[in-house]
Amino acid sequence: MFKIAPSMLSCDFSQFGQEIIRMDKAGADLIHLDVMDGHFVPNISFGASVIKSIKAYSDKTFDVHLMLQNPLDFIEDFAKAGADILTFNLEADSPVYETIAAIRSYGIRPALSIKPATCVRELYPYIGEVDMFLIMTVEPGFGGQSFMPQTLDKVRALRDKLLDGGFKADIEVDGGINLETIGSAAAAGANIFVSGSTIFAAQDAKAMIEKLRRAAQNARNSVVGGN
């Protein structure tokens, strides 16, 4: 039920393929790949050709997080590179419905993200249209930032909205997720957790992924038990 997605932004890029294998063996549920264009966010990471070259290293879901000003222009490239999920931002310049349709046309799962300052209600028109929502829990652009607890109201509101309508979309959180913060995100209703610096700084990535998953489960159980 709870899925952990290591963010490869914190890996050793000189060993990208081996790092993918390491995360796969460590029990990652998804491989989270942060694509940054230096426009939508003030940082540049890697693009479709890199993803294409590492795709063969794991059969896990490639969860590609596009932080691009014009995601629609690049859907074909990332589809051909092997993305399984393509997330783009509501605040980007591309038309949302058209971008969702382009992603689906390649048989890929579309997901929509919002930055910390964007109201969650702006996502509601797309409920039923995308398979996953990504609520950013830091300002996108860099790994290693501190979790913003105020973003959890959005997770709760979206969870309730999905439940009310009988929709089953995943809710992913990304940024500052560690053993201290994952519980609150799980209790709020998130079920997919991106974690970069915490997993890559750990001596034992497998143990850390297990601990994160358990912390999420325990927090959710105590919410359910408390009701």
- Known catalytic residues are 34, 174
Closest by Cα among 117, 32, 29 to 66: 32
| 110 touches, from Zn ion, ligand DX5, none (C-beta below 5 to 8 Å by class) | none
Name every residue whose Cβ is closer than 8 Å to that of residue 83 and which is 6 or more positions away in sequence. Answer: 33, 51, 62, 64, 108
**Alpha-carbon distance values, 66 to 101, 141, 167, 178, 213 (Å):** 16, 11, 24, 22, 25
CB of 181 to ligand DX5, least distance (A): 10
Amino acid at 218: N
- Contact of 88 with 68, CB cutoff 8 Å: yes
Give least dist CB 157 to ligand DX5, A: 21
- Applying the rule CB under 5 A, the residues between 172 and 201 that interact with Zn ion are 174
45 binds ligand DX5 (CB under 6 A): no
CA distance 19 to 46: 15
- Residue 225, classified by CB atoms within 10 Å of its CB into exposed (0-12), middle (13-18) or buried (19+), is exposed
Quick check: 71 binds ligand DX5 (CB under 6 A)?
no
Please report how close the Cβ of residue 32 comes to Zn ion at its closest, in angstroms. 6
Establish if 34 lies at the interface with Zn ion (CB under 5 A). yes
Which residue is nearest to ligand DX5, using beta carbons? Answer: 196
Using CB under 6 A as the binding criterion, the count of chain residues that bind ligand DX5 stands at: 21
Shortest CB 67 distance to Zn ion, Å: 7
> Distance between CA 24 and CA 66 in Å, rounded?
21
Contact footprint for Zn ion (CB under 5 A): 34, 65, 174
Query: What is the binding site for ligand DX5 (CB under 6 A)?
Result: 7, 9-10, 32, 34, 65, 138, 140-141, 143-145, 174-177, 194-198
